[in-house]
Structure 1
Amino acid sequence: MALVELGRYDRQLAAILVGRLEADGIPALAFDAGASIADGSWLLIPVRVMVDADDLAAAKAIVGAA
């Protein structure tokens, strides 16, 4: 399994996308979601949504249709 970046989103959208992808059978992870909560700049640092390289095309299709 090799993780690749699907995209960078705000925390809420990243959480929604991870849930949508997983509902469609594509494992996904949100990286950096808690990286800047402590210093109050959470709107400035995007969350990376990561998927397996083999699932990238399908994940892009799901995100593009949403």
Structure 2
Amino acid sequence: MALVCVETLFSPVEAEIARTRLEAAGIDALLFDAGIASLIGPGVSGIRLMVLAEDEASARRLLADPA
């Protein structure tokens, strides 16, 4: 099970919203580096949104849709 990064976000709130959107669509997602980003501050350290490789295309499509 390989994980891939589908997006890097610089706001913890935006990262959590994106993760929740994926989860609501049935795509398991994890946030990497959220802890260090919250310590350093928003906009400095990116938070990686990770999904399974087989879910990458679906996740990217969903995240590209602004709805």
Shared fold (TM-score, shorter chain, > 0.5): yes
Structure 1 residue ranges (4+ consecutive) displaced by more than 2 angstroms after TM superposition: none
Q: What SS does the corresponding residue of 1:35 show, helix, strand or coil?
A: helix
Does residue 55 of structure 2 align to residue 60 of structure 1?
Answer: no
Q: Which residue of 2 aligns with 1:31?
A: 32
CA contact under 8 A between 2:37 and 2:47: conserved in structure 1? no
Number of equivalent positions: 64
Q: Distance in 2 between matches of 1:25 and 1:34?
A: 24
Q: Are 1:14 and 2:15 counterparts?
A: yes
CA deviation map 1:6-52 (0-9, x unaligned): 110021111001100000000000011111434xx222001000000
* Percent identity over paired residues: 39
2:34 alignment partner, SS class? coil
Structure 1: state its 5+ residue gaps.
none
What is the RMSD computed on CA atoms of the aligned residues?
Answer: 1.1
Structure 1 counterpart SS, 2:41: coil
Q: Which residue of 2 aligns with 1:42?
A: 41
